[in-house]
Amino acid sequence: MNKKRRRHGGSAWSVTHIRRWSEYPGLTLRVAELKPAGTLQLFWKRTGQLQKSRSLQRTRADLGATPKEQREAAISIAREFFPEIAKLEADGKAPLPAAVVKADEVLTLGRLVDLYEQRGSLQAEESYRREQTKKLRVMAAFLGPEKLVASLSESDVNAWINHRRHPGEEGRKVRQNTIAGDLHALNIALNFAYKEKCADGSRLLKEHPLPDLVIEKEKNPRRPIADPDRYAKLKKVARGVSPVLDLVLDLLWESGHRIGAILGLRWQNILFEPTEAATLARELESEVGWTQAEFALGGIHYYEGRRANNKSYPHVRPILTPETCEALERVRKKSAAIAGAWLFADPRDASQPLKRWVLHRWLREAERKAKLPHLKGGAFHPFRRAWATRWKDRPDVDAALMGGWKDVETKNRSYTKSDVQARLAFIKAG
């Protein structure tokens, strides 16, 4: 039993490492009270995977009068969920299905989070669901899981903003865009509750409690950019940190794609044959008019099988340099490069893709070896900004297409940066 409060919204009380590994190997459960006297949450995960959660709809006081009784009851309740969770995993479902919303449902913050996770984000990607639910659970733990949603007011929002800006000794101060993301998540969940219907046809939430919610974005957001010198110095030491880090850097620098797109690649997505790459590119984007000449070195199929959204959509882009081809061939020879294998596999479990936090750790080590300061406000995204800035002299529509942006406006507003040489050129021209 862990009674120590963790940073960043950790548990006030929890019973950890609940297992039935003889029957359900690799599956671990945890029962946690995120806030004193709050609703208990059940968390579960498999080895090497991110955890999921649901509300148990009861408090620690419901489990017994003494700490021993509470612990034993928590273990007993959790153990009953193993068959249900295992069945859901076998069916390919992530969250537990929600019960029918009862007539005259008393909507608390804790219940809102559960319902939104189970019913309100079904069309979203799994990573988005986890991120939004995490934000909402931390906010609910601060304001109180039993707080009525209808009672939310501007003062509650201001209290949350103040808490994020001045979290005290146990927390971490965040910037305005992080706070804006929290409030966006809350507003989306409230809109869902306003539109959702109870079993009798009435609205789950009679009216939006925060209709005039103003979400301010950061006026001067941090958007660091990686220059060519930084890329060259990191490349020089990368292989001494990991045999694949230099290839990650090459793909970032050459393609301008997000790190998530690169870590999501499998060997079957590396199309060394020009005809195959060009054919698939035309199938995915018939309106572009790709030619085989553009794929002389082959192509890379990003976001295979992903549902298209504003940030990611399946597409093929050409491999641009022989150096990248050589790096891909080198890594392929040293790895089990079968079609379904990950291009960058987890060193501990080759069936899983490389975790982003592992890559972050490698990058920080490479920065120390190269004697480079860490760029505040970004790890790998500065390479995407560098790509957009490097090619800003090309037509916007072509640069956006090659870098994987859905629209030119986003690329120009958030990624393309002004530079000294361009400004001096304007001055001389004038």
pLDDT at 13 over 60: yes
Residues 109 and 72 in one domain: no
Separation of CA 178 from chain center: 13
Residues 9 and 107 in one domain: no
Long-range contacts of 123-132 (CB under 8 A, 24+ apart): 123/307, 125/306, 125/307, 125/309, 126/94, 127/260, 129/94, 129/95, 130/50, 130/52, 132/185, 132/188, 132/189
pLDDT at 9 over 50: no
Read off the pLDDT band of 360 (50, 70, 90): very high
Name the token pair of 171: 């927390």
Q: How far apart are CA 14 and CA 5, in angstroms?
A: 10
- Cα 108 to Cα 114, 146, 225, distances in angstroms: 10, 5, 43
Q: How far apart are CA 143 and CA 112, in angstroms?
A: 13
DSSP string, 316-384: EEE---HHHHHHHHHHHHHTT--TTSBSSEETTEEEEEPPHHHHHHHHHHHHHHTT----TT-SSHHHH
pTM of the model: 0.65
Write down the pLDDT at residue 233.
Answer: 96
Residues contacting residue 8 through CB under 8 Å, at least 6 positions apart: 138, 171, 172
Residues 173 and 253 in one domain: no
The answer to whether 411 and 387 are in contact (CB under 8 A) is no
From 67, 65, 62, select the one nearest 14 (Cα to Cα). 67
Domain of 123, CATH number, reads 1.10.150.130
Write down the pLDDT at residue 208.
Answer: 92
From 260, 263, 287, 290, select the one nearest 274 (Cα to Cα). 290
Domain limit, last residue, from 81, 97, 113 = 97
Write down the pLDDT at residue 11.
Answer: 55
Residues 139 and 196 in one domain: yes
Residues 149 and 19 in one domain: no
Write down the pLDDT at residue 49.
Answer: 53
Please count the residues of the chain.
430
From 301, 221, 290, select the one nearest 261 (Cα to Cα). 301
Domain limit, last residue, from 192, 221, 250 = 221
The tens digit of pLDDT for each residue in 306-352 reads 777 777 889 999 998 898 998 898 888 877 666 678 999 888 888 88
Q: How far apart are CA 403 and CA 384, in angstroms?
A: 8
Read off the pLDDT band of 96 (50, 70, 90): very low
From 232, 226, 253, select the one nearest 373 (Cα to Cα). 226
Residues 76 and 104 in one domain: no
Domain extent at residue 83: 1-97
Domain of 322, CATH number, reads 1.10.443.10
Q: How far apart are CA 119 and CA 105, in angstroms?
A: 15
Residues 336 and 423 in one domain: yes
Read off the pLDDT band of 2 (50, 70, 90): very low
Residues contacting residue 116 through CB under 8 Å, at least 6 positions apart: 132, 133, 136, 188, 189, 192, 193
Residues 329 and 347 in one domain: yes
Name the token pair of 252: 């970032």
The tens digit of pLDDT for each residue in 242-273 reads 999 999 999 999 999 999 999 999 999 999 99
Residues 26 and 173 in one domain: no
Write down the pLDDT at residue 8.
Answer: 41
Read off the pLDDT band of 428 (50, 70, 90): confident
> How many other CB atoms are there within 10 angstroms of residue 403's CB atom?
18
- Residue in the block written with tokens 């050409």: 318
- The average pLDDT across 278-296 equals 93
Radius of gyration of the CA atoms of the chain, in A: 25
- The average pLDDT across 393-414 equals 87
Residues 11 and 142 in one domain: no
Residues 12 and 138 in one domain: no
Write down the pLDDT at residue 94.
Answer: 45
Number of alpha carbons in the 13 Å side-chain half-sphere of residue 283: 9
Residues 283 and 396 in one domain: yes
If one counts the domains in the chain, the total is 3
DSSP 148: B
Domain limit, last residue, from 189, 221, 253 = 221
